[in-house]
């Protein structure tokens, strides 16, 4: 066991899978000798060679096509999109090609790729680096969308994603890369895709969230605890498909729920979580389903992030409202 940051846990998972399966290939813009703009692939090319870990021309669509074609030849590509705001360049390769190949070829071909990409606010990036675009992916049939919130999950989920035989989008929140350390086992282990985690048990209100908002929800829960409100924090970990069972079990237990996302209200997966609860557990609800999300504007200018991004106090306020409804 070692104390690792999330980015170290990601590098560790990549190294394990490169070692474990000769078909695993890592490529993208500056992921080779440079070790990635965030050092996520640091040392991997040195250890596994340029044949396994390599740089590409600067073209996201080309990277998507490269991954698709390599997968067709039996490789397990793990390409990187430098920032997820650049996904628009490669939307066709992901949602119109990789995501539909198993379906359109009646299961005679499949595309086992994992697209890694950083996103998320709070680190004052320039434009189109931090946008929360997981909702676009979650609306596309045929792909899984994974968003870890801590080092332990990041490693286990990434190993699962690479071993999965269908396309997976693995989104890494930049604010979580180095903000804390956690015990991470040295060996290979998996965290199942499509399974949420109860991060903190509680009995009064369920807060269902993912990504950087998990830490904010825990902070809020600690404050609310002092006021006598017991909050259960559910970390979705995979935002598509949703772990309906865990979500509904928590809501049935507490009877009150607040769905929290960093994405704009009209984006993200919050509305999807809310509709599943409304459809499956309305009789357990003591109050309307609460929601915390960012305003429906374009992602903010760097200096305005703190005004815009949802945080622990927004979550506290909404939980109180729901609790006192």
Partner 1 sequence: MATKKTTIDLDALLSSTNTDFRMVQIMDEEGNIVNPDLMPDLSDEQLVQFMTDMVWSRILHERSTALNRQGRLGFYAPTAGQEASQLGSIAAIEKEDVLLPGYRDVPQLIKHGLPLAQAFLWSRGHVDGNKYAADLQALPPQIIIGAQYVQSAGVALGLKKRNKKNVAITYTGDGGTSQGDFYEGINFAGAYKAPGIFVVQNNGWAISTPRHVQTAAPTLAQKAVAAGIPGIQVDGMDFLAVYAVTKKAREYAVAGNGPVLIETITYRFGPHTLSGDDPTRYRDTAELEGWQAKDPLIRMRKYLTAKGLWSEEKENEVIEATKEEIKEAIKEADQAPKQKVSDFLKSMFEEPTITIAEQIKQFEAKENK
- Least CB distance from residue 323 to partner 1, whole Å? 29
Q: Among 212, 317, 305, 309, which Cα is nearest to 258's?
A: 317
- How many binding residues for partner 1 (CB under 8 A)? 43
> For 194, left (φ over 0), alpha (ψ -120 to 50), or beta?
left
Q: Which stretch binds partner 1 (CB under 8 A): 107-115, 148-156, 208-216, 251-259?
A: 107-115
The CA distances from residue 82 to 7, 13, 52, 122, 174, in Å, are 14, 18, 18, 17, 11
Q: Annotated catalytic, 124?
A: no
What character string, x for contact with partner 1 (CB under 8 A) and - otherwise, covers 246-285? ----------------------------------------
Contact between residue 50 and residue 24 where contact means Cβ atoms under 8 Å apart: no
194 near partner 1, rule: CB under 8 A: yes
Please tell me the number of Cα atoms within 13 Å of 278 on its side-chain side.
10
Q: Does 97 bind partner 1 (CB under 8 A)?
A: yes
Q: Does 228 bind partner 1 (CB under 8 A)?
A: no
Q: Which of 102, 129, 144, 175 is catalytic?
A: 129
Place of tokens 């509305």: 271
Binding of partner 1 at residue 57 (CB under 8 A)?
Answer: yes
| Residue closer to partner 1, measured from CB, 62 or 122 | 62
Residue from 49, 126, 241, 295 in contact with partner 1 (CB under 8 A): 241
| Cross-strand bridge partners of residue 76 | 24
Q: At what angle do helices 312-323 and 213-226 cross, to 10 degrees?
A: 50
**Is residue 245 part of the contact set for partner 1 (CB under 8 A)?**
yes
Residues in the chain: 325
Applying CB under 8 A, among 41, 56, 160, 206 the residue interacting with partner 1 is 56
**Closer to partner 1 at the Cβ: 57 or 228?**
57
From candidates 1, 106, 283, 307, binder to partner 1 by CB under 8 A: 106
How far the first Cα of the chain sits from its last, in Å, is: 45
Q: Give SS3 for 251.
A: helix
Q: Is 62 in the site for partner 1 (CB under 8 A)?
A: yes
Whichever of 163 and 318 has its CB closer to partner 1, that residue is: 163
Least Cα distance to 197 among 236, 171, 231, 160 occurs for: 236
Residues 122-161, one symbol each (x = binds partner 1 by CB under 8 A, - = not), give -------------------xx-x-----------------
User: Under the criterion CB under 8 A, does residue 103 sit at the interface with partner 1?
Assistant: yes
Residue 244 binding partner 1, by CB under 8 A: yes
166 counts as binding partner 1 under rule CB under 8 A:
yes
70 vs 205 by CB, closer to partner 1: 70
Q: Does 192 bind partner 1 (CB under 8 A)?
A: no
Alpha helices in the chain (DSSP H): 6-20, 44-48, 60-72, 91, 101-104, 134-138, 151-163, 213-226, 244-254, 270-281, 305-308, 312-323
Distance CA 17, CA 240 (A): 23
CA distance 143 to 139: 9
Binding site for partner 1 (CB under 8 A): 51, 56-57, 59, 61-62, 64-75, 92-93, 96-97, 102-110, 141-142, 144, 164-166, 194, 241-245
What residues are annotated to the active site? 129
């Amino acid at each position: 066991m070692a104390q690792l940051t999330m980015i170290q846990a990601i590098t560790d998972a990549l190294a394990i899978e490169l070692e474990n399966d000769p078909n695993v290939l890592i490529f993208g813009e500056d992921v080779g000798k440079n070790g990635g703009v965030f050092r996520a692939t640091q040392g991997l090319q040195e250890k596994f060679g340029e044949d396994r870990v390599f740089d590409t021309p600067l073209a996201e669509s080309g990277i998507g096509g490269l991954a698709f074609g390599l997968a067709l030849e039996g490789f397990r590509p793990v390409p990187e999109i430098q920032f997820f705001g650049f996904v628009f360049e490669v939307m066709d390769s992901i949602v119109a090609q990789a995501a539909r190949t198993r379906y359109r070829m009646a299961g005679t071909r499949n595309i086992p790729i994992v697209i890694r990409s950083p996103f998320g606010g709070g680190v004052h990036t320039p434009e189109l680096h931090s946008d929360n675009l997981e909702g676009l992916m979650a609306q596309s049939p045929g792909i899984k969308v994974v968003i870890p919130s801590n080092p332990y999950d990041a490693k286990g989920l990434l190993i699962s994603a690479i071993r999965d035989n269908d396309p997976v989008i693995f989104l890494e929140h930049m604010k979580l890369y180095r903000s804390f350390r956690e015990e991470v086992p040295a060996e290979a282990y998996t965290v199942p895709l499509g399974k949420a985690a109860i991060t903190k048990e509680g009995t009064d209100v369920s807060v269902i969230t993912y990504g950087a908002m998990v830490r904010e929800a825990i902070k809020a829960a600690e404050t609310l605890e002092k006021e006598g409100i017991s909050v259960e924090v559910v970390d979705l970990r995979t935002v598509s498909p949703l772990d309906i069972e865990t979500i509904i079990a928590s809501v049935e237990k507490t009877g009150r729920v607040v769905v929290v996302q960093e994405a704009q209200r009209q984006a993200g997966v919050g509305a999807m979580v809310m509709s599943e609860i409304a459809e499956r557990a309305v009789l357990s609800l003591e109050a309307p389903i609460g929601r915390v999300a960012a305003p429906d504007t374009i992602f903010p200018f760097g200096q305005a992030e703190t005004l815009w991004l949802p945080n622990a106090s927004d979550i506290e306020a909404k939980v109180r409202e729901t609790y006192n409804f």
